[in-house]
Each structure stands twice: as C-alpha cells, then as structure tokens.
Amino acid sequence: MNQPAPAPPHSQTVAADKQFLSRKETAELLKVDFSTLWRWNKSGILKSVKVGPRRVLYKYDDVMNILTLGGA
C-alpha cells in the first residue's frame, strides 16, 4: 500500500485551513523573534493586521510565502 508523504513540520503546529496566525505562531514558524516581525511589518516584508489594542495577526498565506520562498 502507498502511504501519503509525511506532512511538513509546520503543519503539525498550525492547521492549513487557518486564515490568520498569532504573533507567537508566526515567530515560531519563521524561527524569528517578535522584534523581527515588528521590523518586517514596518518595512512591508510581512504586514500584520491589528486586532484590538495589543493583538496583531498575520495572514497565513503571507507567512507561508516567506517560509517556502525565503521572502525575507
């Protein structure tokens, strides 16, 4: 029997059908610090969406583009 290929490591922590990721999830996936996410947001590399006074989210597709293409 053919078994499906194992899923990439990031899919174990984040469901592929998620539209947005938290700051923590994004930092863990990209293996960067929160300060790097802040810099990338300011420079336009990875834009965040502000939700409330302190919470920001990142579009799942944008994060995956950086992860797979090395866009940063």
Residue 10: pLDDT band (50, 70, 90) is very low
Measured between alpha carbons, how far is 41 from 55 in angstroms, rounded to an integer? 14
Contacts (Cβ under 8 Å, ≥6 apart) of 1: none
pLDDT at 49: 95
- pTM of the predicted protein model: 0.71
pLDDT at 13: 47
Asked if 56 contacts 48 with a C-beta cutoff of 8 angstroms, the reply is yes
pLDDT at 24: 97
- Helix, coil or strand: residue 47: coil
